[in-house]
A and B are shown apart, each in its own frame.
Chain A
Amino acid sequence: MRYPKLFWHGFVVHFKELSASPFQIMTAAIWPLVFATLAYLMFRAGSGAPSLLYASLGAAVMGIWSTTATSAGGAIQRQRWLGLLELLVVAPAPFVFVLAPITVAIAGIGVYSIASTLLWGRLLFGIDVHIASPGLFALAVPATVLAVGMLGLVLASALILYRAASAFSQGLEFPVWLITGLLVPLSVLPGWVTPIAWALAPTWGMRAMRHAALGGSVLPALAMCAVLTVAYGLAAVLLLRYFEQAARRRATLSLT
C-alpha cells in the first residue's frame, strides 16, 4: 500500500502546484483552443471533413500531450534546478515512484483542455456535445491521462543525462500530434507511420475517448492504454536504473 499512497499524494501535490502556474494553464487550456478553432474553421471551410465534435476531442487530447511534451521531458531537469534531484534519488522510495506522480500530474492538467475545448466548441461554434457512453468516457479520460503520463515518464527517464531535455521533449509535440490520429486520421498518413502510432499512448487514448463519445468499441482501446501504461512503467524502471547509475558514476546528477 505504501507505493500507491506515495504515488497518489505525489500526484495531488504536483497537480495543485501545476494548476497554479499561468504557463501550464495556458499550455493546457489556451493552446488547445487555438488548434480547436483552427480545426473547426478548416473543417467548415473544407469538404468531406470529420465532425466538429471529432475535432473538439482531438484538440482536447492534443492538450494532454502538449503539457506532457512541454514539461515532462524537463521534469528531472526542473528538480535539478530546484536542487532537489540528489535528495529525491537517495530517498528510500524507488525513484520511479517519485518521478511518475510528477509526469502523470503534468499529463493530468491536460484535463483542463478537455473542459475548455468542449466548452469553447459549444459556446462559439454551437457544437452539440453528446457523449454516447458517458460511463466509458469517464473511464477513458483517466486511462488516457495515466498512459500519456507514463509515456512522459519514459521521456523524462530517457533524458536524465540530456541537459536540453525540455527543448528535445517540446520538439516532440507536433510529431506526436500528427502521427497519433488526434486530428489527422492515420489513413491519410504514409503506411509506415501506423506501427509507430500504435506504440504511442495518445493513439489509444484518443481512440477510447472518441469511441466513447461518438460510438464504437471502447474496451480494446482501453486495454491498449493499460498495456502501454505497464510497458512504459517497465521501460522507465530500466532506463532510470541505467541512467541513474551512469549519472552517479560520472558525478553529473546535479550538474545543470
Chain B
Amino acid sequence: MTRAGVTTFSRIFFIGGAISFRALFSWITPWVYIPTLLITPMFQLLFFAYLGRTAHLRSDSWFVIGNAVQSASMASLFGMGFAIDGERWSQTLSSVLATPANRAALFLGRALPVLLNSMVTSLFVFVAGRLLLDFHPPLAVVPKLALVVVVACFSVTGLGMTTGAVGLRLRDVPIIANLVMAILLVFCGVNVPLDDLPRWMSAVAQVLPMTHSIGAARRLADGASIGSVDHLLLTDVAIGIAFGIVGFALLRWFEHEGRRLATLDRA
C-alpha cells in the first residue's frame, strides 16, 4: 500500500468510523444510554451475584468478573448489528456500498467506536461491583483486568462483525444479537463454572469469545501473573480475529449478492 493509500485507509477507518457512529447512534441520548448500557448490566451483575449467594455457588468476586466482562457483549453485538443494519434503516446503505472505499477500512472503522463503547460498559460494571458487592481487587490487579477487558471487547466485537454481517441478509438483527448474547451468557462460564456445565457445552465454550478472557481475569484476580494467563488472552484474540475474518467475508459476500439480486435496501 502506498503512503497515500495508508492515509486514505486511516481517514476512512478513524474519521469515517467516528462520523458513521455519531450519525447512526445519534438516537442514543443519555436517557437511553444510561438505562440500557449502564443500569441494565449493573443489575444483571447484582441479580446473578445474589442468585449465586442463594445457590451458595461462588464468591461475589467470581460473579463480578464474569458479568463485568460479559456485559461488553451487549454493546458489541447490538452495536455492530446496528452499525450495519442502521445504514439500511437510514437508507444510506446503497450509497455507502457504492463508494470505492476500502471495505476493510469501512467496516473495521465502524467496529472501533463499538469496541470502545463496550469497554465503557464493562469497566462501569467492574466499578459497580467494587462499590456494591464484596469485590476488592488489589490495586496492582486493576491494570491487568483492564487489559483483559480490552481483549474481551476485541474478541466479542469480532463476533459482532459476524452477526452484524448477517444483518445484510436477514431482517431481525436485534433477534440475532439477543440469541448470541444469550449463548455467551450461558456457555462462557459467566455464571456457571465451566466444570459444572455439561461436557458438550464446555467444549462449545472453548471456541466462543470471552470464555478465555473471563478465565484469565479470574486467575489474575486470584493473584496470577499476566505471563501465566497470556495463552488464554492470545486464544481470545485469535477467536476474535477468526470471527472478524468470517464477518468480513460474509459482508463481502452478502454485499455481492445484494448487488446481484438488487436486495441491498430490502428490509
Which residues of A have CB within 8 Å of B192?
A: 38, 41-42, 45
Are A45 and B175 in touch, CB under 8 angstroms?
no
| Interface 9-residue window, one of B53-61, B89-97, B144-152 | B53-61
User: Interface size for chain A: under 10, 10 to 19, 20 to 34, or 35 or more residues?
Assistant: 35 or more
Given A174-B46, A184-B50, A184-B51, A42 and B186 contact (CB-CB distance below 8 Å): no
Are A170 and B54 in touch, CB under 8 angstroms?
no
Q: Is A188 an interface residue (CB 8 A)?
A: yes
Are B50 and A178 in touch, CB under 8 angstroms?
yes
In whole angstroms, what is the CA distance A171 to B44 when docked?
10
Q: Is B178 an interface residue (CB 8 A)?
A: yes
Partner of B36, one of A39, A167, A184: A167
1-56 of chain A: CB within 8 A of chain B: 22-23, 26, 30-31, 34, 37-39, 41-50
Question: Which residue on chain A has the smallest CB distance to residue B41?
Answer: A174
Are A174 and B57 in touch, CB under 8 angstroms?
no
Question: Which residue on chain A has the smallest CB distance to residue B183?
Answer: A34
9-54 of chain B: CB within 8 A of chain A: 29, 31-32, 34-36, 39-40, 43-44, 46-48, 50-54
Q: How many A-B residue pairs have CB under 8 A?
A: 101
Partner of A167, one of B31, B174, B197: B31
- Whole-angstrom distance between the Cβ of B47 and the nearest chain A Cβ: 5
Which residues of B have CB within 8 Å of A212?
A: none
Partner of B47, one of A37, A47, A171, A184: A184
Which residues of A have CB within 8 Å of B29?
A: 164
Q: Is B258 an interface residue (CB 8 A)?
A: no
Q: Is A72 an interface residue (CB 8 A)?
A: no
Are A177 and B32 in touch, CB under 8 angstroms?
no
Given A22-B172, A37-B186, A178-B47, A44 and B31 contact (CB-CB distance below 8 Å): no
Given A42-B191, A184-B47, A168 and B196 contact (CB-CB distance below 8 Å): no
In whole angstroms, what is the CA distance A173 to B74 when docked?
15
Q: Is B203 an interface residue (CB 8 A)?
A: no
- When each residue 171-185 of chain A gets 1 if its CB lies under 8 Å from chain B and 0 otherwise, what string results? 101110110000111
Q: Which of A48, A174, A185 has the most CB of B within 10 A?
A: A174
Are A174 and B185 in touch, CB under 8 angstroms?
no
Are B56 and A178 in touch, CB under 8 angstroms?
no
- Whole-angstrom distance between the Cβ of B178 and the nearest chain A Cβ: 6
Are A178 and B43 in touch, CB under 8 angstroms?
yes
In whole angstroms, what is the CA distance A231 to B3 when docked?
70
- Whole-angstrom distance between the Cβ of B199 and the nearest chain A Cβ: 13
Are B172 and A50 in touch, CB under 8 angstroms?
no
Are B31 and A164 in touch, CB under 8 angstroms?
yes
Given A167-B31, A170-B35, A178 and B46 contact (CB-CB distance below 8 Å): yes
**A-B residue pairs in contact (CB < 8 Å), sample of 22:** A23-B174, A30-B179, A37-B186, A38-B192, A39-B51, A41-B197, A42-B55, A42-B57, A44-B196, A45-B55, A45-B57, A46-B54, A163-B31, A167-B31, A170-B40, A171-B43, A174-B43, A174-B44, A177-B47, A178-B50, A184-B47, A189-B50
* 3 pairs of A and B residues whose beta carbons are closest in the complex: A171-B35, A46-B55, A174-B43
